[in-house]
Amino acid sequence: MDLQLKDKSVIVTGAGSNIGRAITLGFAREGAKITLADIDAKQADAVATQARAIGAPSTEVVRCDVTQLDQVQAMFKRAVERHGTVDVLVNNVGWDQLMFFAQTTPELWQKIIQINFVGMLNCTHTALGIMASKNSGAIVSISSDASRQGEPREAVYGGMKAGINSFMKTIAKENGRNGIRCNVVCPGVTIPEDDEEVGANSMWVNKDTMFTAEQLAAIAKALPLKKVGRPRDIANAVVFLASDAVAGHVTGQVLSVSGGYSMVG
């Protein structure tokens, strides 16, 4: 099926590792022009090379800390200069440190809030100005099923992801009149295929601090599909929601891609 994403200008934040990497390569296979925004430019460069090899006609790597509005605005400016506009924004950047809330500190709260929520605000606000001027666009934000279930050791992270869910619904209602669709994808536990998919700043760089092999096996056993997620599972959902050809009447939706961990009616 032709998703009609060929030559569309796509920005993916956190494009260098794990889910962001898979999303970037998913758009590359559709022939999109991609701006890879990541704080780890070296890791993003490697992904950009792969993206060009499998079909992206143009890629641009921009080192960008999404918590800094001036850097976000400069990154969007680069995307427009190279690719003419921005058709799709994927708010993928996310980070957490698994700890029970009583063990956390205000400094950790602020880091989680800035990376997971404020960065998304900065990118979405900047994208809307570009998309509204041409009466079209798609924004897909990566949340988490921790936002829907409440997950131990992810209190602040889950709270910020729940905020994304609500925020994106409001943005969808405010901007539908401008032809802009806004949706959310909620992964469950999603593990990299191999170590090469993970950059130095990824929360998965020390994967043993995330989940032990025994814990991952227990998680998989508890899920209806009996397997944990892989980055390509999330990428497939994102590419679908970004496509006007197949999801042109879908907006304001929160889609769990988690092997059945969350089933929201």
The dihedral formed by the CA atoms of 32, 134, 78 and 204, expressed in degrees to the nearest 10:
-60
pLDDT at position 208: 58
Q: What is the pTM (predicted TM-score) of this model?
A: 0.93
For residue 116 the two structure tokens come to 């997971």
Give the strand order in the sheet containing 33-38.
Answer: 59-63, 33-38, 9-13, 88-91, 137-142, 180-187, 254-257
List the structure tokens of 241. 């929601």
- Residue 68: the pLDDT is 98
Q: What is the pLDDT along the chain (265 residues), one digit of tens a residue?
A: 899 999 999 999 999 999 999 999 999 999 999 999 999 999 999 999 999 999 999 999 999 999 999 999 999 999 999 999 999 999 999 999 999 999 999 999 999 999 999 999 999 999 999 999 999 999 999 999 999 998 999 999 999 999 999 999 999 999 999 999 999 999 999 988 765 566 666 655 665 566 788 888 988 998 899 999 999 999 999 999 999 999 999 999 999 999 999 888 7
Secondary structure class of 31 (helix, strand, coil): coil
pLDDT at 212: 85
Residue 265 CA, distance from chain mean position? 23
Residue whose structure tokens are 């400094």: 107
Choosing from 27, 76, 117, 157, which is the catalytic residue? 157
Going 245 to 248 to 249 to 252, the CA torsion angle's sign is: positive
For the beta carbon of residue 165, count every other beta carbon within 10 angstroms. Answer: 17
Domains along the chain with CATH numbers: 9-257 (3.40.50.720)
CA dihedral sign, ordered 44, 46, 52, 55:
negative
Residue 145 main-chain phi, psi, to 5 deg: -70, -10
The pLDDT tens digits of the residues spanning 63-88 come to 999 999 999 999 999 999 999 999 99
Determine the Cα–Cα distance for residues 6 and 159; give it in Å rounded to an integer: 36
To the query of whether residue 157 is one of the catalytic residues in this protein, the response is: yes
Block residue for tokens 């990497």:
21
Query: In the prediction, which pLDDT does 241 show?
Result: 98
d(CA 35, CA 54): 15
Looking at residue 204, what is its pLDDT? 58
